[in-house]
RNA sequence: GCGAAUGUAGCUCAGUUGGUUAGAGCGCCUGACUGUGACUCAGGAGGUCGCCGGUUCGAUCCCGGUCAUUCGCCCCA
């Protein structure tokens, strides 16, 4: 193997791929802006603590998927595996309690040491939306509405299905967790190996087990709704009602739980069956305890993250490349004139293709390959008259026009 | 981390029951056409058949390992 390969689980985004990538990102950013979410960015790496403390030491991400390293100063750093913790850290660091609700959009690369598959990479990209400092169910509704709007705009909402559940507040969740652990402890011998491990790490996950034996046990397990206190029940009802008002279809999935420790109340996922085992396209929830875990004042928050690669896989249409106009010198004497003209047009914001070499025939071929709208040819004849030959490459027609009329001519092309 | 499949030109894929110079289409380059693209025609470049080892007179083909991708599990965006 003589040619260098990219690191496992990483991918190059060539210009063709990047157009789609940028389209997804821009669409998300524009819609987020309409809802009042301004774009921000946080560093790609943080102190390991930021992720370890918030996501939970026992979570898969923290226990085996982080790219951590020791800096020269001896501190443990980690390439971010998600955006939420970093943004919350930033919220605290910058004293943004003054600005609540703090509504932010972000996107960028994330890193997780996982086994690569389609729609799952070690370096991948997420779009992310956070609303910090709002305890109202209206915030949950808005955040989900933004996600739905983005999927709608990308024309992939039809491939997705919104699953939603509540994990209740800390009190409800702890009570339920205790009941669940007690129940499964009594039936330990019947649990699958996977679920036995889950019992220690994240017992709620057992509810979602695909193992047939587990499912039998789950059927008789304590039911979450019995443990939700009045506040949690009412809160969830309000969220669902809001979704209905927005015309966003959903499906309550009582087995939907989250892998990360910081989630409370609303948990949701836009899932698809078009990507094999990687069903989650946009997923998130409420994290009322997170800011406090990071050392801030108790502050509620809700947000989501979306996988850009997965969104790109679902999106069928790649936007067209900008169609340039080719400037073609005919003969060496015209080089200077065309170079200057190309530069002036580019400064006007017009996409100009001008090859570095080649006779007019080659340059025309190249213009055609690049899907140019038109070609501007200038040789000695045209120079003598301060004119150019303007060829419409779609129509196949051409005419000589004064250089002074060129800008108007180009504008006419649209 | 576990199980399975796949790996031949830039791309999509043929192929050899193991035999000497490994093919096609598309793409790329050159020319016919040194002031005009799409069509056509004629040439050309590009492969240690993923990598390492084994069996064999001989391996792209069989066997083992390894790496990568894909699928399922786990988990997640």
Chain B bases near protein Cβ (<7 Å) = 1-2, 28, 30-31, 33-38, 48, 50-51, 67-77
The CATH label, of 3.30.479.10, 3.40.50.1820, 3.40.50.1370, 3.30.930.10, for the domain at A15-169+229-314 is: 3.30.930.10
Using the predicted structure, report yes or no on whether residue A198 has a pLDDT greater than 80: yes
Question: Which helix (H) or strand (E) covers residue A130, if one does?
Answer: strand A123-132
- For A329-385, what is each residue's pLDDT tens digit? 998 889 999 999 999 999 999 999 999 888 899 999 999 999 999 999 999 999 999
* Distance between CA atoms of residues A393 and A376, nearest Å: 10
Which one of A54-58, A134-138, A213-217 scores highest in mean pLDDT? A134-138
CATH of domain A325-413: 3.40.50.800
Residue A396 near residue A368, CB atoms below 8 Å? no
**Which residue intervals of chain A bear CATH 3.40.50.800?**
325-413
Give Cβ neighbours of residue A340 (< 8 Å, ≥ 6 apart). Answer: none
Encode A60-112 in three state secondary structure. Answer: HHHHHCCEEEECCCCCEEEECCCCHHHHHHHHHHCCHHHHCCEEEEEEEEEEC
> What's the pTM?
0.91
Distance B22 C1' – A341 CA (angstroms): 51
* Distance between CA atoms of residues A146 and A157, nearest Å: 12
Using the predicted structure, report yes or no on whether residue A1 has a pLDDT greater than 80: no
Distance B34 C1' – A52 CA (angstroms): 68
**Which residue intervals of chain A bear CATH 3.30.930.10?**
15-169+229-314
């Amino acid at each position: 193997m003589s040619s260098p390969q990219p690191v496992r689980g990483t991918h190059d985004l060539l210009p063709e791929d990047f157009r789609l990538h940028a389209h997804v990102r821009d669409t998300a950013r524009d819609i987020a802006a309409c809802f009042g979410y301004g774009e921000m960015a946080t560093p790609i790496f943080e102190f390991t603590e930021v992720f370890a403390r918030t996501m939970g030491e026992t979570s898969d991400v923290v226990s085996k998927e982080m790219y951590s390293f020791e800096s020269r100063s001896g501190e443990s750093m980690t390439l971010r595996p998600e955006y939420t913790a970093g943004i919350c850290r930033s919220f605290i660091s910058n004293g943004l309690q003054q600005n609540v609700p703090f509504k932010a959009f972000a996107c960028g690369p994330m890193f997780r040491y996982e086994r690569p598959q389609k729609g799952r990479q070690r370096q991948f990209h997420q779009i992310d939306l956070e609303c910090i400092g709002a305890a109202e169910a209206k915030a949950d509704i808005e955040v989900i509405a933004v996600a739905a709007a983005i999927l709608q705009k990308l024309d992939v909402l039809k491939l997705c299905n919104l699953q939603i559940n509540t994990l209740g507040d800390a009190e409800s969740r702890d009570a339920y967790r205790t009941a669940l652990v007690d129940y499964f402890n009594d039936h330990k011998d019947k649990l699958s190996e996977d679920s036995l491990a889950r019992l220690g790490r994240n017992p709620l996950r057992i509810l979602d087990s695909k193992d047939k034996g587990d499912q039998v046990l789950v059927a008789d397990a304590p039911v979450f709704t019995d443990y939700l206190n009045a506040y949690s029940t009412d809160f969830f009802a309000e969220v669902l009602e809001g979704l209905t008002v927005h015309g966003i279809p959903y499906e309550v999935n009582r087995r939907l739980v989250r892998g990360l420790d910081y989630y409370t109340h609303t948990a949701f996922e836009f899932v698809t069956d078009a990507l094999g085992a990687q069903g989650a396209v946009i997923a998130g929830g409420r994290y009322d305890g997170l800011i406090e875990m990071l050392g801030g004042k108790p502050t509620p928050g809700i947000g989501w993250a979306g996988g850009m690669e997965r969104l790109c896989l679902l999106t069928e249409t790649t936007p067209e490349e900008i169609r340039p106009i080719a400037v073609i010198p005919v003969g060496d004497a015209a080089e200077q004139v065309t170079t200057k003209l190309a530069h002036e047009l580019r400064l006007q914001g017009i996409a100009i293709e001008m090859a570095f070499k080649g006779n007019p025939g080659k340059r025309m071929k190249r213009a055609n390959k690049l899907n140019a709208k038109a070609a501007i040819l200038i040789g000695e004849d045209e120079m003598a008259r301060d004119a150019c030959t303007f060829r419409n490459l779609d129509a196949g027609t051409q005419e000589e026009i004064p250089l002074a009329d060129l800008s108007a001519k180009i504008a006419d092309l649209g």
